[in-house]
Amino acid sequence: MTKKDVRILAFESSCDETSTAVIKNGREIESLIVATQIKSHQRFGGVVPEVASRHHIEVITQITKEALDEANATWADIDAIAVTYGPGLVGALLIGVSAAKAASMATGIPLIGVDHIMGHIMAAQLKDEIEYPALALQVSGGHTEIVLMKDPIHFEIVGDTRDDAAGEAYDKIGRVLGVNYPAGKTIDEWAHKGKDTFHFPRAMMEDDDYDFSFSGLKSAFINTCHHADQIHEELDKYDLAASFQASVVDVLSHKTIRAIKEYKPKTFILGGGVAANHGLRDRLAEEIEKLPADIKPKVILPDLKLCGDNAAMIGAAAYNLYQAGKFSDVNLNADPSLELPYAESMLK
- Position 348 pLDDT exceeds 70: no
Burial class (CB in 10 A: 0-12, 13-18, 19+), 4: exposed
With cut-offs at 50, 70 and 90, classify the pLDDT of residue 346: low
Q: pLDDT (tens digit, 9 = 90+) per residue, 4-28?
A: 799 999 999 998 899 999 999 999 9
Number of Cβ atoms within 10 Å of the Cβ of 210: 23
Nearest of 268, 134, 157 to residue 209 by alpha carbon: 157
188 labeled binding residue: yes
Round to whole Å and give the CA distance between 203 and 222. Answer: 16
116 labeled binding residue: yes
Structural contact between residues 163 and 348, judged by C-beta atoms closer than 8 angstroms:
no
Instruction: Please report which residue ranges of the chain form alpha helices under DSSP H.
Output: 38-42, 49-70, 90-107, 116-122, 166-177, 184-191, 215-230, 237-263, 278-289, 311-323, 344-347
90 labeled binding residue: no
237: amino acid identity, one letter:
K
Q: Are strands 17-24 and 7-12 parallel, antiparallel or unpaired?
A: antiparallel
With cut-offs at 50, 70 and 90, classify the pLDDT of residue 3: low
Nearest of 27, 31, 39 to residue 10 by alpha carbon: 31
Instruction: For the chain, give every residue range classified as CATH 3.30.420.40.
Output: 7-122+306-340, 129-302
88 labeled binding residue: no
Give me the pLDDT at residue 2, please. 47
Q: pLDDT (tens digit, 9 = 90+) per residue, 280-292?
A: 999 999 999 999 9
Structural contact between residues 11 and 314, judged by C-beta atoms closer than 8 angstroms:
yes
Q: Which residues pair with 145 in a beta bridge?
A: 138
Give me the pLDDT at residue 39, please. 74
184 labeled binding residue: yes
Give me the pLDDT at residue 46, please. 74
- Position 345 pLDDT exceeds 70: no
Q: How far is CA 317 from the centre of its chain?
A: 13
Burial class (CB in 10 A: 0-12, 13-18, 19+), 347: exposed
320 labeled binding residue: no
φ, ψ of residue 243 to 5 degrees: the values are -70, -40
The length of the chain is 348
The mean pLDDT of 104-109, rounded to a whole number, is 97
The mean pLDDT of 242-249, rounded to a whole number, is 97
Round to whole Å and give the CA distance between 264 and 258. Answer: 10
163 labeled binding residue: no
Q: How far is CA 266 from the centre of its chain?
A: 21
Nearest of 324, 326, 328, 313 to residue 23 by alpha carbon: 313
Q: Is the dihedral of CA 23, 26, 29, 30 positive or negative?
A: negative
Nearest of 151, 162, 89, 86 to residue 117 by alpha carbon: 86
Element (H, E) at 337: none
Q: Are strands 144-149 and 134-139 parallel, antiparallel or unpaired?
A: antiparallel
Q: pLDDT (tens digit, 9 = 90+) per residue, 313-325?
A: 999 999 999 999 9
Q: pLDDT (tens digit, 9 = 90+) per residue, 176-214?
A: 999 988 899 999 999 999 999 999 999 999 899 999 999
With cut-offs at 50, 70 and 90, classify the pLDDT of residue 128: very high
- Position 333 pLDDT exceeds 60: yes
> Is the pTM higher than 0.85?
yes
- Position 56 pLDDT exceeds 80: yes
Give me the pLDDT at residue 37, please. 73
Structural contact between residues 162 and 203, judged by C-beta atoms closer than 8 angstroms:
no
Round to whole Å and give the CA distance between 308 and 194. Answer: 26
The per-residue pLDDT of the chain, averaged, comes to 94
Round to whole Å and give the CA distance between 8 and 30. Answer: 10
Give me the pLDDT at residue 239, please. 98
**Best CATH choice for the domain 7-122+306-340 from the list 3.30.420.40, 3.10.129.10, 1.10.3720.10, 2.40.260.10:** 3.30.420.40
The mean pLDDT of 118-133, rounded to a whole number, is 97
Q: Which residues pair with 83 in a beta bridge?
A: 11, 113
Give me the pLDDT at residue 203, please. 92
Give me the pLDDT at residue 344, please. 74
Q: Which residues pair with 155 in a beta bridge?
A: 149
DSSP symbol at 154: -
Nearest of 93, 82, 36, 2 to residue 312 by alpha carbon: 82
271 labeled binding residue: no
With cut-offs at 50, 70 and 90, classify the pLDDT of residue 158: very high
Structural contact between residues 175 and 225, judged by C-beta atoms closer than 8 angstroms:
no
138 labeled binding residue: yes
Give me the pLDDT at residue 4, please. 79
**Domain 129-302 - what CATH class?**
alpha beta
227: amino acid identity, one letter:
H
